[in-house]
Copies of this chain bind each other. A is one copy, B any other.
Amino acid sequence: MVLVNIGNHFDLKASVFQAPRRGIYSFSFHVVKVYNRQTIQVNLMQNDYPVISAFAGDQDVTREAASNGVLLMVERDDRVSLKLERGTLMGGWKYSTFSGFLVFPV
């Protein structure tokens, strides 16, 4: 479910944000792992490159989040997305969030 998509720069089908203009953007994510014994690693990708990672690996909790956030210099038409680098999300992306906004143009 997409709560906010001003400018319509988030491609729902591909789950990829494409930057409408050059600037500094703030991105943050919280990916919730529902009970399973796998460790997950989530990467924030700028185009095809991983920028930051987050981990959730606890075996004895019901729900645990892999969270991180970053400011990025983004060129026009750069694509920013989340990639599940390791593990699986058996419960899907429920409760998970991914947010980004332009802090200021450059």
Residues of A within 8 A of B (CB): 3-4, 6, 24, 26, 28, 30, 32, 39, 51-55, 57-65, 67-73, 95, 97, 99-101, 103, 106
Contact A106 B68 (CB under 8 A): no
Contacts of A3 in B (CB 8 A): 51, 70-73
Q: Which of A54, A62, A97 has the most CB of B within 10 A?
A: A97
**Given the interface contacts A39-B62, A99-B70, does A24 sit within 8 Å of B51 by beta carbon?**
no
| Contact between chains at A4 and B72 (CB < 8 Å) | yes
Report whether A103 and B106 are in contact in the complex, using a CB–CB cutoff of 8 Å: no
Question: Which B residues touch A54, using CB under 8 A?
Answer: 30, 65, 95
